[in-house]
Amino acid sequence: MTNADLPQTISLLTRSPAALNALLRGLPEEWTLQNEGENTWSVFDVIGHLIHGERTDWMPRAKMILQFGETKAFEPFDRLAQLRESQSKSLDQLLDEFAHLRSANLSDLCALNLREDDLERRGQHPALGAVTLSQLLSTWAIHDLTHLHQISRVMSHQYRKAVGPWSEYLGVLHCTGHSS
Amino acid sequence: MTNADLPQTISLLTRSPAALNALLRGLPEEWTLQNEGENTWSVFDVIGHLIHGERTDWMPRAKMILQFGETKAFEPFDRLAQLRESQSKSLDQLLDEFAHLRSANLSDLCALNLREDDLERRGQHPALGAVTLSQLLSTWAIHDLTHLHQISRVMSHQYRKAVGPWSEYLGVLHCTGHSS
């Protein structure tokens, strides 16, 4: 694996649900249901998006690489699915669901008993072209981090005025939303 | 408080240490001791910085506002203190220390029994000029988030090559380091 190894990747994937749970469970809705303006996501939306990824993206794509290689392209990922699927759920329910799905997916990953040469097998991304299993699994972990980065920014946005002149020093308030 | 209230602020300040603990404790050092290049911080450095803030910044400044108002400027904050103070400690020790100090500081804050008009009292920042207690406490919370934002970016940087062509889609890899 180039600049990544599987235990290192799994160490992060294992911890993300508990980290999000510790940060978000029970927080006032002023932090979790507000977004950054029209057509942007709240923390609630982001957790729904992570759930959809657990269901349809990472492990299904890993299995496709192993089964079909480059002969069959992945299904495109639906970036708006959570707007339908999270309706009528609470944030606490979403946090539970994410933790449960992640745990099951990591068990599935472990059961694949991947070897070094498996990690170099290639699949076909519908937009990016050829990608390796190693790249997919690394992206799974960094996708968690890109949304942790986004969550910290969305929450900070709610206090943009409240911090007064300190906004100058708070880098997160100068982030231009590249993770939305 | 403009766009902020004290229980909302405290709800976040209470959760940050547990969130960082869940994310970071036991992670391989490839995630926690690497930085983004010369003169940048690792995750380990960031937790040391948060500890220094608990010791010297937030509550000491809150007490200065209540005691001296605008007649005495805050001590400037030492942004490099952690490079001395964290030496020979482990990340787990730093996480424990941060949680302990934060908990004690929130007890102190609670014991102040702040009223609405206390929150509008002003102090003197050595560079920013007049600031209110409300702004200081809001900044304490957003300072946690700016460093969570930074941590997610520093960790992602370690997998910049490993994700291959997906780097295009991962916003955190396009963050220009405004939180460093």
Nearest to B2 among A22, A149, A161 (CB): A161
**Angstrom distance (rounded) from CA A168 to CA B5:** 21
| CA triple B82-B87-B93, angle to 5 deg | 85
Q: Verify whether the Cβ–Cβ distance B162 to A135 is below 8 Å.
A: yes
Q: Is A118 exposed, middle or buried (0-12, 13-18, 19+ CB in 10 A)?
A: middle
Reported in sequence order, the residue ranges of chain A that DSSP labels E, i.e. its strands, are: 122-125, 129-132
Residues of chain A found within 8 Å of residue B11, distances taken between Cβ atoms: 26-28, 31
**Angstrom distance (rounded) from CA B93 to CA B176:** 30
| Interface mutation target, options A135, A172, A176, A178, chain B, most CBs of B under 10 Å | A172
Structure token pair of residue B135: 């702004």
Residue B179, pLDDT > 60, answer: no
What is the residue whose two structure tokens read 């220390």?
B97
Q: Which residue of A has its CA nearest to B166?
A: A139
Structure token pair of residue B142: 């957003």
- Using one digit for the tens of pLDDT, what is the confidence trace for B148-176? 999 999 999 999 999 999 999 999 999 98
Provide the pLDDT for residue A77.
Answer: 83
Mean pLDDT of chain B: 94
- Using one digit for the tens of pLDDT, what is the confidence trace for B77-129? 888 887 788 889 999 999 999 999 999 999 999 999 999 999 999 999 999 99
Reported in sequence order, the residue ranges of B50-96 that DSSP labels E, i.e. its strands, are: none
Structure token pair of residue A28: 């006032």
Reported in sequence order, the residue ranges of A19-157 that DSSP labels E, i.e. its strands, are: 122-125, 129-132
pTM of the complete model: 0.96
Residues of chain B found within 8 Å of residue A41, distances taken between Cβ atoms: none
Q: Verify whether the Cβ–Cβ distance B18 to A16 is below 8 Å.
A: no
Distances (CA, A) of B105 to A139, A175, B100, B137: 38, 29, 9, 12
| CA nearest to A55, candidates A98, A117, A9 | A98
A17-46: b (≥16 Cβ within 10 Å) or e:
bbbbbbbbeebeebbbebbbeeeebbbbbb
pLDDT band at B4 (very low <50, low <70, confident <90, very high): low
Reduced to 3 states, what is the DSSP secondary structure of residue A7?
Answer: helix
How does pLDDT run along chain A (180 residues), one tens digit per residue? 445 699 999 999 999 999 999 999 999 999 999 999 999 999 999 999 999 999 999 999 999 999 999 999 998 888 888 778 888 999 999 999 999 999 999 999 999 999 999 999 999 999 999 999 999 999 999 999 999 999 999 999 999 999 999 999 999 999 987 654
| CA nearest to A49, candidates A94, A7, A89, A15 | A94
Reduced to 3 states, what is the DSSP secondary structure of residue B131?
Answer: strand
How far B37 CA lies from chain A's nearest CA (Å)? 16
Residue B58, pLDDT > 50, answer: yes
Residue B178, pLDDT > 80, answer: no
Q: Is B42 exposed, middle or buried (0-12, 13-18, 19+ CB in 10 A)?
A: buried
Provide the pLDDT for residue A176.
Answer: 85
- Using one digit for the tens of pLDDT, what is the confidence trace for A67-83? 999 999 998 888 888 77
